[in-house]
């Protein structure tokens, strides 16, 4: 199949993602304004990228939520430079991330189809396989609906919300490949992941190493997962299968990159006290149980079993790429349950559709045999396809039938938009925002040059302590010694009537609308 046709098919398969974004920008009450941030953490990524626009040239940036422009520049992500190009054109931050995510998702789907097309140039039921690859899932939605009406009756008052019963984070953890592409940065990570796998399968070692470096550079979890998968597979190929088609320099290079990745994220960054605090915050046991992974991987697991059915073990693992896919699925699954072996660091972060995708790619031969057996029974065939798509059909349907009626990071009021616009036009990196509320303080990092004393809940070092210090300052008017030499901007949300603010802090008023006021100190 030609690349042009594969790309057109990729856009068609991305229609649910396009519908999701259209819904975000259109399905809201008249008093709300869509930001383009479709989930809370989106602000973090744009805030990171914005650091490169604040007079800090180079590959690295400092934590925008450290509240200080002098914080050490020790972080870096390659996609920041793409985001900066559009941010410099004054495109709204959320729209920048939405477009970046959609383009990444389409290209990611393209490489996924290209990978399958390369491995199986004469694949039967090609379009069905492509559909199930990009939009397939498990039985979490149907299982959740049943459980919500039986064993755990009434957990979700709304019937359709029962689909979240066995889908962590209301489906936002992305237990299957198609779902996780909704998250902009995850679409980019998956693009690199699949492109890297594609280059490895083609034995294009130098491009594979470059892409692997970009993955490591992009994200700690995705990087360690990808590199551990490849290193595990290389070990099997060189030690057990004596695969001479893989040069030893490739083996050594990937292992070097793997240990370099571990050094940077576990040793180098933790030399800095502020990062070490964040590392401790993120080192939590966010895990998932068999009640989640069984329904999530039930269908691809069934296809995996069918791949082995009546086949000699030697024939199943005869091909190099099949050994890679199986190693991928096993290592990803063990990483997502690493609390079984070591101190947990967000085990669920290693799901993100990687386990599902590895199993699916491995089980394509089993899927083809199954489709071949049921092709004459149209009702069974349609039922099987709908069952495979049910997780994402129900999830997207539940999202698309909703309507934003309350202010969140995704949809803000006119008053909030006005205060963010003012901050974007009237602040510098020497300004420190001290506030009695959370949302604007957090979002300001993506819109303005100022720093916030309390930014993102998890990326702000000592967030709870800083929150108490901010409230104490608003009550007494006595600034902290660390604030000396900086212009303090006092942002007050008038709706927060339970937070006392001393009158003297309101003397030099710079901005005010119906909900917010900003004063200088």
Residue 55 lies in a domain: no
Q: Express as a percent the part of the chain with pLDDT over 90.
A: 91
**Residue among 481, 464, 471, 465 at smallest CA distance from 502:** 471
pLDDT, mean of residues 213-234:
98
- Which pLDDT tens digit goes with each residue over 324-363? 999 999 999 999 999 999 999 999 999 999 999 999 999 9
d(CA 352, CA 247): 31
- Which pLDDT tens digit goes with each residue over 95-149? 999 999 999 999 999 999 999 999 999 999 999 999 999 999 999 999 999 999 9
70, pLDDT greater than 90:
no
Structure tokens at 377: 């029974």
- Which pLDDT tens digit goes with each residue over 370-429? 999 999 999 999 999 999 999 999 999 999 999 999 999 999 999 999 999 999 999 999
**Is the distance from CB of 80 to CB of 52 less than 8 angstroms?**
yes
- Which pLDDT tens digit goes with each residue over 162-193? 999 999 999 999 999 999 999 999 999 999 99
SS3 431: strand
Residue 285 lies in a domain: yes
d(CA 411, CA 39): 10
- Which pLDDT tens digit goes with each residue over 253-298? 999 999 999 999 999 999 999 999 999 999 999 999 999 999 999 9
Residues 283, 357 within the same domain: yes
Q: What is the DSSP string of 364-414?
A: HHHHHHHHHHHTT-HHHHHHHHHHHHHHHHHHHHHHHT--B-S--SSEEEH
**Boundary of a domain, candidates 356, 373, 400:** 400
* pLDDT for residue 293: 95
Diameter over CA atoms, the chain: 81
**Is the distance from CB of 241 to CB of 327 less than 8 angstroms?**
no
Residue 103 lies in a domain: no
Residues 238, 360 within the same domain: yes
* pLDDT for residue 56: 64
Residues 392, 425 within the same domain: no
Residues 437, 347 within the same domain: no
Residue 226 lies in a domain: yes
Residues 493, 358 within the same domain: no
Residues 423, 378 within the same domain: no
Structural domains of the chain, count: 2
**Boundary of a domain, candidates 353, 374, 400:** 400
Residue 319 lies in a domain: yes
Residues 221, 277 within the same domain: yes
Residues 369, 423 within the same domain: no
Calculate the alpha carbon distances from 109 to 5, 112, 179 in Å: 13, 5, 12
**Is the distance from CB of 326 to CB of 317 less than 8 angstroms?**
yes
- Which pLDDT tens digit goes with each residue over 499-512? 889 999 988 999 99
pLDDT, mean of residues 68-91:
91
Calculate the alpha carbon distances from 364 to 17, 106, 116 in Å: 24, 22, 9
Residues 210, 276 within the same domain: yes
* Cβ contacts of 227 within 8 Å, gap of 6 or more: 212, 215, 216, 254, 257, 258, 261
On the CB side of 415, CA atoms within 13 Å amount to 15
Residues 426, 511 within the same domain: yes
pLDDT band at 1, cuts 50/70/90? confident
pLDDT, mean of residues 289-309:
95
Residue 275 lies in a domain: yes
**Boundary of a domain, candidates 400, 424, 446:** 400
Structural domain including 168 reads: 144-177+188-400
d(CA 519, CA 521): 7
Residues 346, 490 within the same domain: no
d(CA 221, CA 215): 10
521, pLDDT greater than 70:
yes
pLDDT, mean of residues 185-212:
98
pLDDT, mean of residues 439-454:
95
Residues 431, 475 within the same domain: yes
Residue 339 lies in a domain: yes
57, pLDDT greater than 80:
no
- Average pLDDT value over all residues in the chain: 95
Residue 211 lies in a domain: yes
């Amino acid at each position: 199949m030609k690349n042009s046709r594969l790309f057109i098919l990729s856009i068609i398969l991305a229609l649910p993602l396009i519908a999701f974004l259209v819904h975000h920008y259109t399905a809201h009450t008249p008093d709300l304004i869509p930001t383009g941030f479709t989930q809370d953490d989106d602000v973090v990524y744009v805030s990171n990228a914005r650091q490169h626009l604040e007079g800090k040239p180079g590959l690295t940036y400092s934590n925008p939520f450290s509240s200080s422009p002098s914080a050490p520049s020790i972080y870096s992500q390659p996609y920041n430079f793409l985001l900066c190009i559009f941010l410099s054109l004054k495109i709204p931050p959320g729209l920048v991330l939405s477009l970046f995510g959609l383009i990444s998702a389409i290209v990611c789907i393209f490489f996924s189809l290209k990978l399958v097309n390369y491995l199986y140039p004469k694949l039967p039921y090609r379009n069905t396989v492509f559909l199930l690859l990009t939009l397939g899932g498990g039985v979490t939605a149907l299982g959740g609906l049943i459980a919500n009406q039986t064993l755990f009756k009434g957990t979700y008052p709304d019937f359709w919300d029962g689909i979240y019963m066995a889908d962590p984070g209301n489906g936002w953890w992305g237990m299957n490949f198609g779902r996780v592409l909704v998250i902009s940065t995850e679409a980019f990570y998956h693009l690199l992941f699949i492109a890297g796998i594609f280059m490895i399968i083609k034995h294009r070692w130098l491009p594979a190493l470059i892409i692997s470096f970009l993955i490591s550079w992009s994200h700690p979890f995705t990087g360690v997962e990808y590199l551990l998968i490849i290193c595990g597979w290389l070990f099997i190929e060189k030690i057990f299968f004596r695969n001479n088609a893989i040069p030893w320099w490739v083996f050594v290079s990937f292992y070097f990159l793997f240990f370099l990745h571990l050094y940077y994220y576990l040793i180098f960054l933790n030399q800095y006290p502020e990062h070490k605090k964040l590392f401790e915050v993120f080192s939590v046991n966010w895990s998932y149980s068999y009640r989640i992974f069984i329904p999530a991987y039930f269908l691809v697991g069934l296809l995996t079993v069918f791949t082995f059915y009546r086949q000699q073990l030697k024939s199943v693992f005869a091909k190099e790429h099949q050994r890679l896919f199986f190693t991928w699925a096993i290592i990803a699954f063990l990483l997502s349950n690493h609390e079984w072996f070591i101190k947990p660091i967000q085990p669920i972060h290693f799901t993100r559709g990687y386990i599902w995708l590895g199993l699916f790619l491995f089980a394509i031969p089993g899927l083809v045999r199954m489709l071949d057996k049921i092709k004459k029974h149209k009702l069974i065939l349609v039922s099987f396809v709908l069952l495979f798509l049910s997780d994402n059909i129900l999830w997207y349907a539940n999202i698309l039938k909703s309507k934003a009626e309350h202010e969140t990071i995704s949809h803000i009021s006119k008053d909030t938009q006005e205060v963010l616009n003012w901050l974007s036009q009237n602040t510098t990196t020497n300004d420190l925002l001290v506030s009695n509320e959370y949302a604007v303080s957090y979002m300001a990092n993506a819109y303005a040059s100022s720093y916030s004393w309390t930014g993102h809940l998890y990326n702000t070092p000592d967030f709870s302590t800083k929150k108490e210090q901010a409230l104490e300052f608003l009550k007494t008017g006595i600034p902290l010694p660390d604030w000396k030499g900086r212009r303090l901007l006092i942002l007050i949300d008038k709706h927060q009537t339970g937070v006392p603010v001393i009158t003297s802090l309101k003397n030099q008023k710079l901005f005010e609308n119906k909900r917010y006021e900003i004063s200088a100190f």
